[in-house]
Chain A
Amino acid sequence: GAGVSQSPSNKVTEKGKDVELRCDPISGHTALYWYRQSLGQGLEFLIYFQGNSAPDKSGLPSDRFSAERTGGSVSTLTIQRTQQEDSAVYLCASSSPPGYEQYFGPGTRLTVT
């Protein structure tokens, strides 16, 4: 079946611009996660959605970062007023039930110039 998809695969933006990254989880997966991976670094947890519950935003690095999940499926991660330190690969993963094995998308490589 279809896996997790993310778009765009690459995004180059100027400092100060806003960007939106999209994630389509595996159909039927109730849990959705966003992570950030900087070059040579581990996975940094950003935000977690589970069903209709309020998301766990404990990993968001600043108030410039936000995310939403519409209809319990597609999710969008928005970064406002991008900074050069936001340059990284943004990964989305889904699982069902929550806490079980996660399946990752290919990631969006964000470069802020």
Chain B
Amino acid sequence: QKEVEQDPGPLSVPEGAIVSLNCTYSNSAFQYFMWYRQYSRKGPELLMYTYSSGNKEDGRFTAQVDKSSKYISLFIRDSQPSDSATYLCADSGASGGSYIPTFGRGTSLIVHP
């Protein structure tokens, strides 16, 4: 069973801190990596996606993939209380003809004023 591992937290940080969220994955065939943010009682919202290795930046958010260590990271700069949510990582690609992503269980982030 291919899995994505994620520390459930909660991770509590003060406003303005740099947050590092991390996942490890096992399916080396997957090339596509995604981060979602989920507020309580809402559906997951796509934050960022990356293909293969490298970094991708969007405003305060940076996604990083290290395929050699099978490590996915999301960095949030200048964190805000509105960033308080659960963050889900996922990997995706073709496996046996199906394209079914594997999701981590999510890390709960609390940013306190």
Which residues of A approach B to under 8 Å, CB–CB? 4, 31, 33, 41-43, 45, 48, 50, 56, 58-59, 91, 93, 95, 98-107, 109
Binding site for A on B (CB under 8 A): 32, 34, 36, 41-46, 49, 88, 90, 92-94, 98-101, 103-106
Task: Tell me the nearest residue of chain B to A98, going by C-beta.
Answer: B99
Indicate if the CB atoms of B98 and A48 lie closer than 8 Å: yes
A42 near B32 with CB under 8 A, answer no
CB distance from B2 to the nearest CB of A (A): 12
Q: How many CB-defined contacts (below 8 Å) exist between A and B?
A: 57
Cβ of B32 and Cβ of A105 under 8 Å apart?
Answer: no
Q: Judging by beta carbons under 8 Å apart, are A45 and B100 in contact? A: yes
Contact assessment for A106 and B42 in the assembled complex, using a CB-CB cutoff below 8 Å? yes
Q: Check B49–A101 contact: CB distance below 8 A.
A: yes
The answer on a CB contact under 8 Å between A99 and B42 is no
Q: Can you give 5 A-B contacts (C-beta < 8 A)? A: A42-B88, A95-B99, A99-B99, A102-B101, A104-B45
**Which residue of the partner chain, among A4, A45, A48, A102, contacts B34 with CB atoms under 8 Å?**
A102
Contact A107 B100 (CB under 8 A): no
In the complex the two chains form, is B105's CB within 8 Å of A41's CB? yes
Q: State which of B36, B44, B99, B104 has its C-beta within 8 Å of the C-beta of A50.
A: B99
How far, in Å, is A28 (CB) from chain B's closest CB? 16
Of all chain A residues, the one with the shortest Cβ separation from B51 is A100
**Cβ of A58: which chain B residues have Cβ within 8 Å of it?**
98
Is the beta-carbon distance between B42 and A102 smaller than 8 angstroms?
no
Q: How distant is B96 from chain A, measured CB to nearest CB, in Å?
A: 9
